[in-house]
Structure 1
């Protein structure tokens, strides 16, 4: 689909939540700062917004909120002006959206809000979604796409001219194979109508309520790259996509592996299949690292094998040990005989 020009808008990235499905990697950090290829998950969102011509972005944060600003600064590295809206308490998806809106309500550009779920990566045409929203006269646009099994997602029923007729969140009997793909364009009036300072759900309360009241909500359908990063295995898959060039817009993509300049990889080691090796990591002699993530300070000992796995910072796979489809916690040691922490 050809990109369209986007009028002024403000971006909101929802980056709260505890990331419990991502444990043990989220014991000490928010999942949105976990790496996908060279960059944290949330950086891919910032880069997408900047690429769509959206310069002002607010990050709605929750768990470990104090870690975001030291990692991301003012956002200028990715072409955005970044503000932060840490939740005073968990507010849910709609409550977080309202809290973030309050942080940018003074901007005239906030008449149109482009809202991204911070743990979903999409390659759809964001400019085109905003353009379609602007010409539709709707109050909300929802990116939708078709999946074989929609039970794990919110399902969306579209009617004439893409009008959303039903929105059902995570049902064992979904009414449609079109799912909510987690990118929205939202009017100022809808954001301002969400109650301030209390917990509220966008998926369970706000969107169904808008539809019930007859407020125009439309679907923007485009089949494009999409990945829900909810577990360590999904994180590995997304990172491999970023390194191999399958994630649109990812930096440092296109090689067999991405290795940070400060990592120490023995020349006899094999690092491939989209692996990412971060700052200060060490890969020993004849080690094999395939389709995996070795975070900062991680160590893979001589002759060890790591496949489809994640090493959290300062974790160790000892000499001759194997780690397959697993995630090690910070500082955890996997030896050839038994794990220790």
Structure 2
């Protein structure tokens, strides 16, 4: 059974006008907190054990989610006195990272077929597989995620983080990864380490197997980390273009 890490330690500075004092993962969206939607999705997809990294308003998240029983999950919390980054958070639980693990960004609402993602990951014999959405095909909120170029056999050949609309490649990092413990050599035991800026580029430089899964039709990626992207997500929900 898959384990998952949900990244929930961000400061939420850009969405403060919407969130107030709430941490991003607890911002209400479609009748519940963003994090609650993510946990239900993981549980419905067969995940049973989840780690959540914490920093800003950690106690509020612990109180809202509890031990995870309400979601059909066993939840572990890992507090970060200093932010470690998206990959550093995974390195921080390396003792638990002893098999394939799913990583999900806690300030987004994504829907894709996790069983299909896992199948692609295993078929490709990848060390990491990135879920991608097509900005021309899938519902999204205009997030400036990393742009990805892939080969005909779904291997990643280029990854550019945080470039917005600077290139024409339509495939965008959806913030959902399937990863193997063998990538731990790329994650130092201290300091801030990011998947998009550090780990994935190093994998490509070293010729390691970094694969892609373009999410299926009907899937979507709603980044909800700014007032603008939040408003776009609410509009998509109200228009019936996405369902939770």
Structure-1 residue corresponding to 2:159: 167
**Cα distance change of structure 1 residues 157 and 233 upon mapping to structure 2, 3 Å threshold:** closer
Equivalent residue in structure 2 for 1:56, among 49, 57, 63: 49
**Cα distance change of structure 1 residues 29 and 111 upon mapping to structure 2, 3 Å threshold:** same
Structure-1 residue corresponding to 2:221: 226
Structure-2 residue corresponding to 1:181: 174
Counterpart Cα distance in 2 of 1:52 and 1:243: 25
8 A Cα contact 1:37 1:239, kept in partner: yes
Compute the displacement of 1:151 (Å). Answer: 8.4
Structure-1 residue corresponding to 2:205: 212
Counterpart Cα distance in 1 of 2:235 and 2:37: 14
Structure-2 residue corresponding to 1:116: 104
1:304-319, aligned counterparts within 5 Å? none
8 A Cα contact 2:143 2:223, kept in partner: no
Structure-1 residue corresponding to 2:122: 134
> TM-score, normalising length from structure 2?
0.88
8 A Cα contact 2:8 2:53, kept in partner: yes
SS at match of 2:94: helix
Structure-2 residue corresponding to 1:336: none
SS at match of 1:205: helix
Counterpart Cα distance in 1 of 2:238 and 2:143: 30
**Cα distance change of structure 1 residues 103 and 28 upon mapping to structure 2, 3 Å threshold:** farther
Runs of at least 5 residues in structure 1 that lack an aligned partner in the other structure: 1-7, 251-341
Counterpart Cα distance in 1 of 2:33 and 2:184: 27
**Cα distance change of structure 1 residues 214 and 220 upon mapping to structure 2, 3 Å threshold:** same
Q: Over aligned residue pairs, what C-alpha RMSD do you find?
A: 2.3
Q: How many residues align?
A: 237
8 A Cα contact 2:186 2:199, kept in partner: no
Listed one character per residue, the Cα deviations across residues 293-332 of structure 1 (whole Å, up to 9, x for unaligned) are: xxxxxxxxxxxxxxxxxxxxxxxxxxxxxxxxxxxxxxxx
Compute the displacement of 1:234 (Å). Answer: 3.1
SS at match of 1:68: helix
Runs of at least 5 residues in structure 2 that lack an aligned partner in the other structure: none
1:192-211, aligned counterparts within 5 Å? 193-211=186-204
SS at match of 1:13: strand
> Which structure has the larger Rg over C-alpha atoms?
1
1:13-162, aligned counterparts within 5 Å? 13-99=6-92, 101-102=93-94, 104-105=96-97, 110-148=98-136, 152-162=144-154
> TM-score, normalising length from structure 1?
0.64
SS at match of 1:24: helix
**Cα distance change of structure 1 residues 65 and 53 upon mapping to structure 2, 3 Å threshold:** same
**Cα distance change of structure 1 residues 185 and 240 upon mapping to structure 2, 3 Å threshold:** same
Counterpart Cα distance in 2 of 1:10 and 1:75: 14
SS at match of 2:53: strand
Structure-1 residue corresponding to 2:230: 235
Moved beyond 3 Å, runs of 4+ = 148-151, 236-248
